[in-house]
Amino acid sequence: MSGEVWQQNMYRMFADGFPSPSAHFIEGTGGRKITYGEVESGSARLANALVGFGVVEGDRVMVQTHKSPEVVLLYLACLRINATFVPLNTAYTEAELRYFLSDAEPRLVVCDPASPIASIDLAGDYPGARLETLDAEGQGSLTEAATGQPEIFVTAGGDGSAIACILYTSGTTGRPKGAMLSHSNLGSNAATLREAWGFTADDVLLHVLPVFHAHGLFVAINTVLANGTSMIFLPRFDVGDVLASLPRASIMMGVPTFYTRLLGAAEFTREACAHMRLFISGSAPLLAEVHDEFSARSGHAILERYGMTETAMNTSNPLDGARVPGSVGPPLPGIEARVVDDDDKALATGEVGAIQVRGPNVFTGYWRKPDKTAEDFCADGFFKTGDVGYIDEHGYVFIVGRAKDLVISGGYNVYPKEVETCIDELDGIGESAVIGVPHADFGEAVVAVVTRAGDGNAVPEQTDVIAALKTQLAAYKVPKAVVFVDEIPRNVMGKVEKGKLREAYQGILASAAT
């Protein structure tokens, strides 16, 4: 793949390969269809509206609203301006949103009318930020402003170094950090995935992922745009809707939870997915037994791959060749992966160590955190993923653990420190340790192990802790269970022994109602 293909504004890269204007791009609910001609005109109207709001190259456009075709067109409008798209999880609370508003300093905020942002005094608290609305049906003040705007917009140029998106990822300090991904980072990955996964002119993607996440936005939508084909755009994963859509699709991307839920449906048979070409899984580890059961039931071997917010996709099991259960495959073309020791020295084949990656997909750094950026890169340009694993003799990468005790629940990253900080501030709490434990549906679920303060305050119970956290954290970060103990185990260096906690409580949710 020639570097010139993706070293430019990403919308220009996509548009160069757009099919006939009458070709379908999105098929939404209720039979609504958006053509590639409407992609061009709709994104142009929105881009003109954004310019009218004062948005210029480099400005942040923060978006917290539900999945709709209009969100995709807004994303493309930002690309056309070289503005920076900042999508936020719809589950974030007001406290979390205020941090993002202060950190990103957006020029424009687009939210659902029911979002907590809508009740914030932006003019008073965040001067310079303009508010527009967009609901789940694609209606609101934003679309009203775009109505009547010119359907032609001259897309910005550039060499691809402009920041296309900032995706926030929680950190071990409890303060989320924004990963800056350039047009070239994302464009190179989309072009690579199109080839690696064998996209053809006849492919139709079944899109059931959220669009505030790298998986649904970058891996799914960008690859479809790079291929100039269509997708069935469902608002969320629903087993019945997915089963009804499979006969008209050829590719599905999902998190492991989606595949376990499909296996739980008797209607999911070989006949139900006979039209499918490829099932892809990521965002969380896929259990080998799920891989095997899915293959036996459907006749399809799920293709597992490995990526992260900061890099999009790094490795992938092959389209043609062995898809090894438990492995995320070899590095994608143009991307390097290595396993190193604590001194960043490469380890031999099969030895377990820290996984590092390098390639055009790797992000440019953390927004306004140059020290953290420098800390996470080696002198030779390799990025420290924080994951632990090994590479076998065939070049396949195996991830055996995660540094910093990251929990991945239902495909979403939960960093324990953020949850612990909120728990420790509650009345009656001494200290806390947050871990991930196996969960049949979500893969992992958050569990908090805590001590009581014994300082005369009211003695908290599990329901008190969970209720308090629901007002501060997105639902997927809130513990499914809170265990009270007399003492949290620590080693001789004073570090909490989370491995012991995970072992002790790994079955705590096995029979509990969740």
In order, the DSSP letters of 411-435 are TEEE-HHHHHHHHHTSTTEEEEEEE
- 393 occurs within a structural domain: no
Please report where in the chains the tokens 């990955």 appear, as a residue. 189
- For the chain, the distance separating the N- and C-terminal CA atoms, rounded to the nearest angstrom, is 47
Instruction: Report how far Cα 491 is from the mean position of its chain's Cα atoms.
Output: 34
| Domain CATH for 29 | 3.40.50.12780
- 61 occurs within a structural domain: yes
- 352 occurs within a structural domain: no
The last residue of one of the domains, among 214, 236, 258, is 236
- 217 occurs within a structural domain: yes
CA 146 – CA 70 distance, rounded (Å): 11
- Express each pLDDT in 145-191 by its tens digit: 999 999 999 999 999 999 999 999 865 456 789 999 999 999 999 99
CA 141 – CA 143 distance, rounded (Å): 6
For the chain, residues with pLDDT lower than 70 are 1-4, 170-174, 401-404, 455-457, 491-495, 511-514
What's the pLDDT at 170? 65
What's the pLDDT at 490? 80
What predicted TM-score, i.e. pTM, was given to this entire model?
Answer: 0.86
Question: What number of CA atoms fall less than 13 Å from residue 375's CA on the CB side?
Answer: 6
Burial degree of 301 (CB within 10 A; 0-12, 13-18, 19+) = middle
Is the Cβ–Cβ distance between 469 and 422 less than 8 Å?
yes
CA 93 – CA 116 distance, rounded (Å): 7
The last residue of one of the domains, among 236, 269, 284, is 236
Is the Cβ–Cβ distance between 366 and 379 less than 8 Å?
no
The last residue of one of the domains, among 183, 217, 236, is 236
CA 67 – CA 487 distance, rounded (Å): 44
| Domain CATH for 427 | 3.30.300.30
Distances (CA, A) of 348 to 345, 377, 387, 393, 399: 10, 21, 17, 10, 16
Alpha helices in 271-312 (DSSP H): 288-298
Distances (CA, A) of 252 to 16, 53, 246, 339, 500: 25, 37, 8, 30, 37
What's the pLDDT at 513? 40
**Token pair of 80, please?**
């056309």
- 133 occurs within a structural domain: yes
Is the Cβ–Cβ distance between 436 and 414 less than 8 Å?
yes
CA 330 – CA 390 distance, rounded (Å): 11
- 267 occurs within a structural domain: no
| Neighbouring-strand partners of residue 192 | none
What's the pLDDT at 456? 64
Maximum Cα interatomic distance, the chain, rounded to a whole number of Å: 72
- 268 occurs within a structural domain: no
| Residue-range definition of the domain harbouring residue 57 | 3-236
What's the pLDDT at 478? 95
- 333 occurs within a structural domain: no
**Number of domain units in the chain:** 2
